[in-house]
A and B are shown apart, each in its own frame.
Chain A
Amino acid sequence: MTLRFRRLWLTLALLLLLLAIEFGTSFFPLDRAARPLLLIPAVLMVGAVGTMFMEVGRGPEIVRLFAVAGLLWLTILLGLGSLDPMTRTDYYVQGASVK
């Protein structure tokens, strides 16, 4: 029992630490294109909440299946969805001759 509560307290501490890191690094003059890296601590926080508060490891097997499915499909949406804008290039126009 106390072990359980100690785990919860540690999780809270970890979450606040990650939040502090995220908050702190946001003041670094990161390049504009690199700033989405600030999401890394957030992703770790999501993982901590999911495993420790929501206890994804407990309960029947399909709980993990559903959690993984949600994340997998999220990856599909964001990955394939951003393929188009990230690779949409202006093609080269060479030697347009008309005056």
Chain B
Amino acid sequence: MSLWLPEATTSAPEVDHLIIAMLLISCAILALVFGLMLLYVFKYRAGSSIDRGAIAEKTWRLEIAWTVVTLLIFFGLFVWGANLYLRLFQPPPGAMKIYVIGKQWMWKVEYPGGQREIDALHVPIGRPVELVMTSEDVIHDFSVPAFRIKHDVLPGRYETLWFQADKTGTYHLFCTQLCGTGHSEMIGEVVVMSDPDYQKWLEQNGASETLAQAGQTLFMRYGCSGCHGGNGAGGNQSGSTVRAPALAGLYGSPVTLADGRIVTADDRYIRDCILAPDTQRVASYPPVMPSFAGQISEEDLLKIIAYIKSLAPESPS
């Protein structure tokens, strides 16, 4: 039995510090409460003839005092916890992206290079990794205790989670949101590898085509190229009668929508465009794109998004 949990990411020690601080505060308060309780129970037991003197009539000073002290301690803890949460919420620019799909009861992981695996995640040490996660059925939750991270994986949209591992080793991966009969079997392992080992692993498990290449095939098969052009160059160029926005260079750039909002074309945006084009209509284009909701699997969707992403010029990272 070990009472110690490895800290395998850069943020894990910070979370532990917060927990230890709260543990110390709790122990102090517990000692106070139990100490006073035991003291009074002994000192003022009914049989004790100790001189009790007069009791204080006015109690509000004491009440205000402990209310204010409690409030201050709580506010400090809030700021501490929130600050760390904020940093964990926002992935750093240039994080390496890995795609995770939850499904009753397994984790499917896809790498940009086209590698895929089930119930296992391989990551390099010392690089920020961003997981883009979605579910094919119910709500799951991607949890790696050694990384001190956890996030629900929701059907119908992308949730993200990022970390930077700093200790090689193999760690538990759990689903921590009840997802049906096989919930407790929806476990796996996360392997943190040194950079050379990781490159070797990627090569050994190399796929015949990258995610983007697979996406290009699907781009043709689902008929996207019919309107958006062969290489996503845009409509009205290859004899098509439909005017559709160009997709080359789209990823990561700002887009003005028909309702005036400006959004960044990220994975979530492109996903929504494909599944619910009406809600994300680009300004000055007619609403002619059909929805692909229910016609395209999560995995194919990831590949098409990877393809559209590959059409963007490599941005500085």
Q: Do chains A and B touch in the complex (CB under 8 A)?
A: yes
CB distance B212 to A95 under 8 Å? no
Interface check B94, CB cutoff 8 A: yes
Cβ of B91: which chain A residues have Cβ within 8 Å of it?
A: 91, 93
Contact with A along B215-243 (1 / 0, CB 8 A): 00000000000000000000000000000
| Assembled-state Cα–Cα distance A32/B252 (Å) | 28
State the interface size on chain B (CB cutoff 8 A). Answer: 26
CB distance A95 to B264 under 8 Å? no
The chain B residue with its CB closest to the CB of A94 is B93
Interface check B189, CB cutoff 8 A: no
Interface check B179, CB cutoff 8 A: no
Interface check B7, CB cutoff 8 A: no
| Assembled-state Cα–Cα distance A92/B93 (Å) | 9
CB distance A92 to B317 under 8 Å? no
Interface check A84, CB cutoff 8 A: no
CB distance A99 to B268 under 8 Å? no
CB distance A94 to B267 under 8 Å? no
A29 to chain B, nearest CB (A): 15
A89 to chain B, nearest CB (A): 9
CB distance A94 to B268 under 8 Å? no
CB distance B309 to A96 under 8 Å? yes
The chain A residue with its CB closest to the CB of B92 is A94
Interface residues of A in 46-99 (CB under 8 A from B): 90-99
Instruction: Tell me whether A98 and B96 are in contact in the complex, defined as CB-CB below 8 angstroms, given that A90-B269, A91-B90, A93-B252 are known contacts.
Output: yes
Cβ of A33: which chain B residues have Cβ within 8 Å of it?
A: 259
CB distance B264 to A99 under 8 Å? no
CB distance B266 to A99 under 8 Å? no
Instruction: Tell me whether A92 and B210 are in contact in the complex, defined as CB-CB below 8 angstroms, given that A97-B94, A98-B97 are known contacts.
Output: no
CB distance A90 to B264 under 8 Å? yes
| Assembled-state Cα–Cα distance A92/B254 (Å) | 10
CB distance A90 to B268 under 8 Å? yes
Interface check B112, CB cutoff 8 A: yes
B213 to chain A, nearest CB (A): 10
A54 to chain B, nearest CB (A): 40
Partner-B contacts on A (CB < 8 A): 32-33, 90-99
Partner-A contacts on B (CB < 8 A): 89-91, 93-94, 96-97, 112, 160, 210, 212, 251-252, 259, 263-264, 266-269, 309-310, 314-317
New A-B pairs, 11, CB < 8 Å, besides A93-B252, A95-B252, A95-B317: A32-B259, A33-B259, A90-B269, A93-B91, A93-B266, A94-B252, A95-B93, A95-B315, A96-B309, A97-B94, A99-B309
